[in-house]
Amino acid sequence: MKRRSYSETIHYILGVSGCLTAIALLKSITQSKPLAVIVVVSTALILIVAALLIPLGEPNASEVGSQPIYSAEQASQTIARVDGKSLYLLGTFDEYTSDKVIAILKSHPNVERIVLTANGGSINDQDTIKLGHYIRRQGLDTHLIANGVAASGGVSLYLAGVNRSVGEGAHIGVHAWAQCSGDGESLECKQANSFPKDDDAHDLHRDYIHQMLGSDDFYWFSIASASHNSIYWLSERDLERFKITNKHLSTNLRIPFPEQFKDEYESTCHNCP
């Protein structure tokens, strides 16, 4: 049984009280008791006013253990903004990004292109890959803005585009993933290329890249290019070799959040070539 919120409970009580008041009113009228009628009518009016003053809706934070309820739109730290036929994304992808972006795309069916601006990675690779599959199923293109940067999980999402283009002066960076345990000085990480090639640990990223590019060559190249705490910036030759880009976009796109972009770019591209 669904639990009633506090406001719904109050409305329920007021409704029952109103019904009982109405019965009392009819009884008083039939028994010709003017004073009783006045009292009952006054009580009814008070109940009606009280019901109108108490809002009916979702429970507030105090009704759910002091944990406010947020939508993916509110919870995700990824900035997303629609401008014309493009959806611009800024920042790291978190566990709420896919739901947020999918909801925006569903409410803006005219969007044809995902534009990455400064996207340094993902907190939840499975969620990012889930979004990548959705983007590909919808037949959308991806573009990395001129002088922008996409690294790690940002590259994973970029690969989802049916047509993929890169603006002049943009940087694309890759590295290996790692499985880490412990923390602080006891932190130990096992690099992706330390696992045998037939190990299931490779499946998530290898299979995704194979589905997006038609080959897993770029996956093996990426995990060998740099450790998980470093970065390798792809050259023009790399982009052509692995068919990372497959289209040239002649349209000049404008970043809709220049101040946030500047801060995110500096934190992501601190060692760009």
Assess whether pLDDT exceeds 50 at residue 59: no
Separation CA 80–CA 148 (nearest Å): 15
CB 103 within 8 A of CB 74: no
Question: What pLDDT is stored for residue 32 in this prediction?
Answer: 59
The pLDDT tens digits of the residues spanning 172-217 come to 999 999 988 888 777 889 999 999 999 999 999 999 999 999 999 9
Question: What pLDDT is stored for residue 265 in this prediction?
Answer: 95
User: In whole numbers, what is the pLDDT of the chain averaged over residues?
Assistant: 83
The pLDDT tens digits of the residues spanning 76-132 come to 999 999 999 999 999 999 999 999 999 999 999 999 999 999 999 999 999 999 999
**Domain residue spans of the chain:** 6-62, 72-268
**Orientation of helix 6-30 relative to helix 34-53, angle to 10°:** 160
Separation CA 22–CA 41 (nearest Å): 8
Arithmetic mean of pLDDT, 132-148: 98
Separation CA 2–CA 116 (nearest Å): 42
Q: To which residue do tokens 């009814």 refer?
A: 44
Separation CA 268–CA 56 (nearest Å): 45
Separation CA 242–CA 89 (nearest Å): 24
Question: What pLDDT is stored for residue 71 in this prediction?
Answer: 56
Arithmetic mean of pLDDT, 250-257: 90
Q: Which fold has domain 72-268?
A: 2-enoyl-CoA Hydratase; Chain A, domain 1 (3.90.226)
Assess whether pLDDT exceeds 70 at residue 226: yes
Phi then psi for residue 150, to 5 deg, are -135, 130
